Every structure is written in C-alpha cells, then in structure tokens.
Amino acid sequence: MSILVVGSVAFDTVQTPAGRADRVLGGSASYFSVAASFFAPVHLVAVVGKDFTEEHARLFRDRDIDLSGLSHLPGETFRWSGVYGDDINQRTTLSTELNVFQEFKPVLPERLRKSDFLFLANIDPDLQRSVLQQVKRPRLVACDTMNFWIEGKRASVLEMLKGVDVLLINDQEARELALEANTVRAARKILGFGPSSLIIKRGEYGAALYGSHAHFAVPAYPLLDPVDPTGAGDAFAGGFMGHLARSAALDDATIRQALVVGSVMASFCVEDFSLRRFQSLRPEQIRTRIKEFGRMTQYADPA
Amino acid sequence: MSILVVGSVAFDTVQTPAGRADRVLGGSASYFSVAASFFAPVHLVAVVGKDFTEEHARLFRDRDIDLSGLSHLPGETFRWSGVYGDDINQRTTLSTELNVFQEFKPVLPERLRKSDFLFLANIDPDLQRSVLQQVKRPRLVACDTMNFWIEGKRASVLEMLKGVDVLLINDQEARELALEANTVRAARKILGFGPSSLIIKRGEYGAALYGSHAHFAVPAYPLLDPVDPTGAGDAFAGGFMGHLARSAALDDATIRQALVVGSVMASFCVEDFSLRRFQSLRPEQIRTRIKEFGRMTQYADPA
C-alpha cells in the first residue's frame, strides 16, 4: 500500500559537534519520504523554489519517490539554519526563511486523493485540515505538530486531530497540548481528542506508544557517533508508516513493530548530515539493525 | 544470598505536586534495603541520631532487615528537605542538615565482612573505599555516586570505581564522570575505569545497561499518579541487587532481568511518600507488575 506525505522540503544549514553542512536538502517531507521509501511506495506533496534542481529531484527519484505532487514556484525554497550544542540534544534555530513555503496551499492531484496511508508532517494545522478534506477515507492518517502551532493555533490543531489516527509528538508538546504536567495523564487526555494512538518521541530515550488499551515503549538505538539529529523524528515517522504500509495491517502487534522500525530509521538518519546516510543504506543493514534492536530489548520473564 | 548496604538513613521533608510529607523516613540505605528485602536478606549499615525511634526501626524489622550494623549516635539524624516542580522530574533541595551523618565512619561488624553482595549507596567516596577495604571478596559490588563527589573528589571516586562491578548513575553524572558529551561514549570510557557494567538511570525514561558486549534498555513503568520520586533510584538499585542475590547468578540474562525488577520497584516507590508504598506491597503485586512490564516491552521481530 502506498503512502502520501504532505510537508516541507527545505535547504538546511546545520552545525553540530560533529561538523557542519551548508544548504543541504532537508525538510520534514524529505526525511519522511526517503525513510518510508525503503518499505512502501511514497508520494510526496510539497513546494520548492527555483533553487531546487534536477540533482535534488534525483535523490528522491533514486528511491522511487513520486514527485508529481511537488509544486515548483518562482522564488527560493524554504531555508532553515540551526546549531546543536555539545549536548547534541540541545538545538538553537538561527534563522528560518519560509520563502515559497509561505504560499504553500497543498492541492492534491486526483489520483493521490485515494491514498491508503497519509502522513501530515509538521505544517500549519489549517493546511493539514485542508489536506484531510481532500483525501477520501485513508486507512490511516498520522500527523506531527509542534509547540508553535499548539500555542498559536490551538483550535485548528484540535480540529485537525479529530481526523487523525496516530499523533507523533514529543513529551513537552504532549504536555502543552493536553495542558497536563504529567505525560501519562497528558497522553490519556490526547487520546480523547481524536487519535487512537499517540506516539511520544523522546529523542535519545526512544519512543512510547499510548493507545486505548496498550502501552508500549522502545529505547533509541545507541549511537557512538551521532552526526546530526535533524530530521530524526520525520525519519522515525517514515519508518513507522512504511512498516504499516508494507504490512497492510494496523493491529497492535504491527504497530509495536512499526515503532521499532521507526527507531531504527531514526538512528540511521542521525549518522550523517541531511539525507546522506539513506543514500548508501541497504535493506540488509536495516534488517541487521532491527535484529540488534531486538537483542537490546529482550529479556526472560523474571517473575 | 544476602546483601549488605552502606548508605544514609534520613528524615525527609518533601513537597511535590501531589502533596507534602514532613520529617518522614528516607535516605539511600532505607530505600535500597526496603526494596531489596522483597528478594533477599539485607543487612543495613548506616548512622542515626536519638530521634530515630523504635517505631522507625520496626519499619525495617517488619521487612526482616538486619539493623545490627546501624550506629546510634547522640544528636539528630541526617535531614533533607526538597521540593519538586509541576514537572515532577525537577527537584530543588531546600536544606541539608548532615547532623550525625558528619561523623559516619562505617565499621563493619565481623560477620558482615563476608557479604556476597555489597551496595555502596551515594556517600563520600572516601567512605565507600573504606568499606571496600573491610569486605572480603564479595561476589558483586554495586555503587551509586553523584555530581557533588565527581566534581569535589574525583580522584577518590575513580579509585573507588576500581573495586566496583556495577555503577548506577544518571546521564548527566556519566557525562561528567567521563568528561564526554555523548552518553554512549561516556559509558564506554567509564567501563574502562573498573566497572564491568554501567547502569544509566533515566528517571521517567527508564534505564540502560552498558556492558563490555551487551547493551540493554528498559523503559520506566508509566505512572498516572506519581506522588514522590524521592528514593526511586535507590529502590531501583534495591530491586536490581535483590534479584541478583535471589538468583545467585550474574550472567547477562540475569542482569537484564534485574533491570526490569529494579524498574518495577522504582515505580512502586514513586506511588507514595517515603517508604509507605512498600509497607503495603505484596509479592504478587510485584509479580503482576513485572508481567505488565513484559507486555509493555514485547514485540514480534519485524525484520
């Protein structure tokens, strides 16, 4: 089954303790689609400027990602610049230039409206809702959002969540969305807003799944040499949705596996700047890491 | 096999979002010994003042904890006071009165020198080393420490670690001890200081085990109504050592199980102030939560 992702394509300038990358391909839809493409066909809907060249497009086409929904507008592509501290979990945004992204009004080509799986990457909740209105009963809708929208467009975020099955956010965003200081309580409350599953992304601490009767948690794969955490959350979502689409199943057991696949794809993402690690990544390397991940979490019942 | 713990007994005054407790029994050795007592015989070595009454002693005796190594000195028992923020993971110490703890010079009764398992709770590394010199080849030595000692008595901490098998600390302490910003790198370096296993305690994110060839991670049991996190790390250590002592085994599989048991005992600790939750805790409740914990971490191989 195929996946439709609506989000951003950007050029990032990133500095981390491991080095620096200038004006490299980034954006939520880029990370998501490349990670998901290892598991299922992906259709990307986003907007780029005239600085997005055939060379950039090739990076997606090499992974068989459908770019027919990518709008090309005059002007520059969205740019983001940030720096990570010695503690690589601490990020400071230096600049954000929306450029053509300001004019982004996703209109889905007719044949994409019947997608089975839809991922609404972190964009304006008004745009997320407009996409939801255009699609025809997808089997699963997942989405991401952030404090900027939760604070600034709370009503729209809550409206959007009514149409969403899986919400992927971090602890702090969950607490802010639910107005609850305790994450477990916040999760319960958010499950009342619409989503049947909530995934709390915890960065280097892994991820937790909250559902109506299930709770599941996975650690992060430990990296000796993390290079750049940018996009890890979107790569997680890509691996997560990719596994669901490949399995064509949405039961609890498959969702648990999808969290593991998401964690593994996030770990590869962090191993290099931009989408570079995915360019050389081979399916057997993914399988090997999934196996390692299993050894990292298994134990015999001590009861 | 039995466990010897050397650490503090204290009276704590604690305020959390859930309420307040005044002058209640606390201290690292108290939390550790009560949690461990569900699995193995425990001998406690600590110091108390004249305000430590028969009623307090009964709490330990009810759990068959041997108090023959508890020194009674004139003066007041160690007192600590702290407040937790709306985010219960944020703690501020309001006051620390060492009182009789300033004169604590642990001298082990002869019959305790042959203990199989030794836990050096978070006290002055000079005292931890003095205890190490008094014991005769324990099967396993575990210890805790904190930034205060890592910064103030680094050489002594490093000397102490040469005699330790398992070190239990948090992320930040590990990074400071290793002088490494990356936790995975820090862990590798610490394994070169002496311990064969390092357990990184991550509070609400669980715990990770780093060994020479093993990596293992467990989440924390999610609590809807945490009451007081004080002592959770020591309760974790108590469950961890308790399971090892009960199993009389130190292989990788048993150590993994011990992390799960530690996480479960830490979760009970947080459910009430002081040692209260342990006073009503029944072995079948521990087994039930261990089973729940299993469901929370299990998945079928997605590879």
- For B172-183, the pLDDT digits (tens) are 999 999 999 999
What does pLDDT average to over chain A? Answer: 96
| DSSP character at residue B88 | T
Mean pLDDT confidence for A135-144: 96
Token code pair at residue A48: 């780029």
Give burial (CB, 10 Å; 0-12/13-18/19+) of A298.
middle
Residues on chain B touching A294 (C-beta within 8 angstroms): 301, 303
Q: Are B269 and B197 in contact (CB under 8 A)?
A: no
Max Cα distance, chain B (Å)? 64
Of B17, B219, B260, the CB nearest to A217: B219
Q: Of B191, B198, B205, B213, which to mutate for an interface test with A (greatest number of A Cβ within 10 Å)?
A: B205
Facing B217 at nearest CB: one of A260, A286, A297? A297
Q: Does the model's ipTM exceed the 0.85 cut?
A: yes
Question: CB-side exposure of A58: number of CA atoms within 13 Å?
Answer: 3
- CB within 8 Å: B302 and A258: yes
Q: Is the pLDDT of residue A66 over 80?
A: yes
Q: The tokens 């610049």 sit on which residue?
A: A81
Angle, helix A154-161 to helix A125-134, in steps of 10 degrees: 30
Confidence band for A216, pLDDT divided at 50, 70 and 90:
very high
Please answer yes or no on whether B224 and A86 come within 8 Å at the CB atom: no
Q: CB-based burial of residue A251 (10 Å sphere; 0-12 exposed, 13-18 middle, 19+ buried)?
A: exposed
Question: A208 vs B219: CB contact, 8 Å cut-off?
Answer: yes
Contacts of A260 in chain B (CB under 8 A): 299, 302
Which residues of chain A have a CB within 8 Å of the CB of B175?
87
Q: Give the pLDDT confidence score for residue A283 in this predicted structure.
A: 97
At B226-282, the pLDDT tens digits run 999 999 999 999 999 999 999 999 999 999 999 999 999 999 999 999 999 999 999
A188/B257 Cβ within 8 A = no
B201-241: per-residue pLDDT in tens? 999 899 999 998 789 999 999 999 999 999 999 999 999 99
